[in-house]
Structure 1
Amino acid sequence: MTKGPWPMTKVGSRPGTAFLGIPFRWLGPGAIMVLVAVYGVFWLLARPAGEPVLGHVGQLFGGESVLLYSIALVLVSTLPHVEPIFGGIDHAAIWHRRAAIMATILLLPHIELAANPGATSLGKTLAVVAISGLAALVVWAVLPRWRTMLPAPLRRLVLASLGTRPVQMAARVLGGYERWRGFHRLTGLFLAAGFLHGLLDASAFEAVPALRWSYVVIGGTGLGFYAYRELLSRHFLPHHDYQVASVRPVAPDLVEVALRPLGRPLDFRPGQFAMVYLETAEGWQRHPFSISGPAEEGGISITVKALGDHTARLPDVVQPGMPAVVGGPYGRFDRHRGTSHQAWIAGGVGITPFLSWLRSLDGELHEDVHFFVTSAGPSPFADEITAAAWNQPRLTVHLVDTEADGRLTPEAVLAAVGTEPRQLSVFMGGPDPMLRQFRKAFRAAGVRRANIHREYFQWR
């Protein structure tokens, strides 16, 4: 049976968790915005008599920056209570980056406006250390995403400069993911320097002790979470010993790694991801990977695409028999949170959680599902997905080869599904630009915001 421009195989709710009708994944961002707004109003209302307005506003920006950096540290603390209120640790990581970027931006007006003639020499030194380190961290974090942040003319200039000797030398100095991750762990130390600078040099604290103590609580909380993550979290978070069972190439830039448990196996829900530590020929390497399904002997499998850094070299440096440690699981990308009519959209390596859903099915689907798999060329998982679909009368598979059929569009998805948009749940995984476009189009077509779910694997 065929519909539309792609091959289609026809072989056939639970609402998302919410609090007072508000999806949990909105509670965290909403709480951040409220906290930032309330803290700003408090600073403005507490301005001491005789304090210059611009100088006080400049100190306010510094206080807000410390607040946002503290929030960013809380969000990456890996505490289990953080994940539910953001709808998954991947969503929390997105807000961690947003909070850090906004905190760094607020440092600019703080530097310009908050001059204090009585500033201490130690406070000035700490300010320079904090601003330099935090700015370097943010710039380094957004460098891999520069293509999405620059207009086309500037992108061409940057691409032309990538082959120059100075840029290549800088790339060697900066290194890849592992070096950035090591430097990123210094975030709390740079925040501590900025926090102490504020205690030493903020003129408003002398006149209004409430400002000082609120600042101490906020900064102390962020630094406390930082200390927990760096010093204690490894003793409380579950880790599981595994061994590499097989490394199977499935495409020129895609491999599946099967891991066999050596002790108690990881208990995961299909669609989740794990923090995987692999001992390779180049030493231990750590990266979060979506779990693409169960493997033999109670193991798990992960699908790795050569996106850069050590993932590009993984087939060469990982061999059967090598040890691995798996932490987690994380994530709340769960088809059971959807309605009875669902569209699954997988682009490229974004297919991984959907493979996990299919490979973990026990019995028939209870929802009507249209599964769209889009890839440049035939999908390496086409045969497996089609075979699984024969046993699922409520599953319709659409295999979209973009080289032959053109790009998949949101309009084509809605036309193929044929369901009233407000009754439809959409689950997406794939390149960020594609998913942002689809999300916008689905919202315009009437799909409820709470029914659009996506996996943010780009944060990794």
Structure 2
Amino acid sequence: MAALRGIPHRHTGPVTIGVLLVAYSALWVFFRPSGEPTGPYVGQYVGAISVVLLSAALVLISSLPWVETWFDGIDRAAIWHRRMAITGLVLLAAHIPLASSPIHSSWGGTLGAIGAWGMVGLALWAILPRWQSVVPRPLRGPIKALKDKPVIAQVRRLFGGYDRWRQVHRLTGLLVAAAFFHGLLDGSPFPKSDVLRWSYVVVGGIGLVFYVYRELIAQFVRSLHDYEVDSVTRVAEDLVEIRLRPLGKPMTFLPGQFALVYIEAKDGWHRHPFTLASAPTEPYVRFTVKGLGDYTRSIADLLEPGMPAVIGGPHGRFHHSKGTSRQVWIAGGVGVAPFLSWVRALEEGPPHGEVDLYYAYTGGPAAFADEITARVAEYDHVRLHLVDSATDGRLTAERILESVDAPAELSAFLCGPEPMLRDLQQGLRGAGVRGRNIHREYFDWR
């Protein structure tokens, strides 16, 4: 637990990015070459900022330990990666009509087109699984009716599946490289200003270096551990517990962290991040998996004891040692997994103060409720509240704070469905809980 103390605050990483953007923008203000028309110059600045953001996004998915530390978790780093990539893509779209450079190299325009259209294609591909959230409701019915048409079905088979998208998504660095060299070759301010040229090379080039590291070097230095499937147990209709047995030196981790799990199933190898639900002192590692995607929905049928597995990690900074002496732990559905790890590790890692654990579910019995009840009963300072939303109504911030005397001194740890956590976060903040004391496990980004 000492490993989580003394780390930078979770806003340190975003602040660093903000400072970088302000500093880089200042260079374009103070070192603007004379004779550069304002309109095209602004367009080229927008393009340069786009490349800087896309390069920074590559840094955030490099899987280096210091990146995870700086952003207080690889999940938050991934969220900021997505935000910067989207912002960079929007700025890239704005750059195209604004920029007008007198320099037209033989390869610059082609590289720019490859980078722009390639990234647009990847963005659209990423949106497709969530198309209903961006398509107006009246159009959803007709689109659904087209899904099973022969041509559309063939396209879905060709481009469907997270694993296929993830493999193609690894080309992002090459597309950013194309955009980077387009700017270097066709940027009219660069021949007139060494400061603008070399700052662009350094800031943009750093992202490409990290991309090369991730693709060519990281596989040889990352922490990997050999395991095999020991058991697969269905604990609820859509919930499975996987238990893995180490074949060599086991992975060391803190309760509540997650790991990248590679398993050879009946239909081939699969890769997926799962939250560790076991205590670090157990001879096995356990993962609680809910059937949400194609792989996880059929995982109980695809896995058998003895199948090989490799675990990479651990990752994540979600742990109660970061909290105050008065805490609430809030779990929704499969979001109980990190708290299950905490409860199973209470003997060796008790929280430093009073805790109320709220476990919300729909329809009983709740998975692992009996085990959690039995374990918590041994500790007077940890109290369990089971909330069945079907009979008790949904869990609210008001209900959680009924037994809290000083909300400003409370730490809240949350893991569960996004709509539930969004409402609870707003309610807790509105009642006086400080933002820096609200900690979320962003398992949904995975």
Give TM class, smaller chain. over 0.9
For the residues of structure 2 that align with 1:368 and 1:285, how far apart are their CA atoms? 40
The CA deviation at 1:144 is 3.6
Say yes or no: does 1:390 pair with 2:377: yes
SS of the residue corresponding to residue 103 of structure 1 reads helix
Alpha-carbon spacing, 1:203–1:134, altered in 2? closer, same or farther (3 Å): same
For the residues of structure 2 that align with 1:171 and 1:419, how far apart are their CA atoms? 54
SS of the residue corresponding to residue 292 of structure 1 reads coil
What pairs up with 1:271-420 in 2 under 5 angstroms? 271-294=256-279, 298-362=283-347, 365-378=351-364, 379-415=366-402, 417-420=403-406
Say yes or no: does 1:250 pair with 2:235: yes
SS of the residue corresponding to residue 361 of structure 1 reads coil
The CA deviation at 1:330 is 0.4
The CA deviation at 1:245 is 0.2
For the residues of structure 2 that align with 1:310 and 1:147, how far apart are their CA atoms? 22
- Do the aligned residues in 2 keep the contact of 1:366 with 1:394 (CA within 8 Å)? no
For the residues of structure 1 that align with 2:284 and 2:88, how far apart are their CA atoms? 42
Pick from 441, 448, 451: which aligns with 2:427?
441
Say yes or no: does 1:172 pair with 2:165: no
The CA deviation at 1:123 is 1.1
For the residues of structure 2 that align with 1:28 and 1:297, how far apart are their CA atoms? 34
- Do the aligned residues in 2 keep the contact of 1:260 with 1:300 (CA within 8 Å)? yes
What pairs up with 1:65-214 in 2 under 5 angstroms? 65-148=50-133, 162=147, 167-214=152-199
For the residues of structure 1 that align with 2:164 and 2:440, how far apart are their CA atoms? 29
Alpha-carbon spacing, 1:154–1:446, altered in 2? closer, same or farther (3 Å): farther
Alpha-carbon spacing, 1:340–1:167, altered in 2? closer, same or farther (3 Å): farther
The CA deviation at 1:160 is 5.8
Amino acid paired to 1:372:
Y
- Do the aligned residues in 2 keep the contact of 1:292 with 1:301 (CA within 8 Å)? yes
The CA deviation at 1:385 is 1.3
Amino acid paired to 1:44:
V
Alpha-carbon spacing, 1:459–1:110, altered in 2? closer, same or farther (3 Å): same
- Do the aligned residues in 2 keep the contact of 1:260 with 1:297 (CA within 8 Å)? no
SS of the residue corresponding to residue 356 of structure 2 reads strand
The CA deviation string for residues 287-311 of structure 1, in whole angstroms up to 9 with x for no partner, is: 1110011489722001111111311
- Do the aligned residues in 1 keep the contact of 2:102 with 2:188 (CA within 8 Å)? no
Say yes or no: does 1:424 pair with 2:421: no
The CA deviation at 1:168 is 3.6
- Do the aligned residues in 2 keep the contact of 1:100 with 1:138 (CA within 8 Å)? no
Q: What stretches of structure 2 of length at least 5 have no aligned partner?
A: none
Alpha-carbon spacing, 1:455–1:157, altered in 2? closer, same or farther (3 Å): farther
Pick from 51, 57, 62: which aligns with 2:42?
57
For the residues of structure 2 that align with 1:166 and 1:77, how far apart are their CA atoms? 37
SS of the residue corresponding to residue 191 of structure 2 reads helix
Relative to the length of structure 2, the TM-score reads: 0.94
Amino acid paired to 2:191:
E
Pick from 225, 234, 242: which aligns with 2:210?
225
SS of the residue corresponding to residue 258 of structure 1 reads strand
The CA deviation string for residues 70-126 of structure 1, in whole angstroms up to 9 with x for no partner, is: 111111101111111111111101001101000000011100111224322421111
Amino acid paired to 2:95:
H
For the residues of structure 1 that align with 2:423 and 2:136, how far apart are their CA atoms? 17
Alpha-carbon spacing, 1:166–1:47, altered in 2? closer, same or farther (3 Å): farther
The CA deviation at 1:17 is 4.7
Farther-moved stretch of structure 1 (42-51 vs 369-378):
42-51
Q: How many residues align?
A: 444
Provide the identity percentage.
51
Alpha-carbon spacing, 1:98–1:206, altered in 2? closer, same or farther (3 Å): same
- Do the aligned residues in 1 keep the contact of 2:410 with 2:433 (CA within 8 Å)? yes
- Do the aligned residues in 2 keep the contact of 1:274 with 1:330 (CA within 8 Å)? yes
* Paired position in structure 1 for 2:27: 42
SS of the residue corresponding to residue 363 of structure 2 reads coil
For the residues of structure 2 that align with 1:111 and 1:431, how far apart are their CA atoms? 38
SS of the residue corresponding to residue 65 of structure 2 reads coil
The CA deviation at 1:162 is 4.6
Amino acid paired to 2:97:
E
* Paired position in structure 2 for 1:3: none
For the residues of structure 2 that align with 1:409 and 1:235, how far apart are their CA atoms? 47
Amino acid paired to 2:341:
S
The CA deviation string for residues 9-44 of structure 1, in whole angstroms up to 9 with x for no partner, is: xxxx99x8567xxx5211001111121122122112
Amino acid paired to 2:158:
V
The CA deviation at 1:143 is 3.6
For the residues of structure 2 that align with 1:295 and 1:201, how far apart are their CA atoms? 55
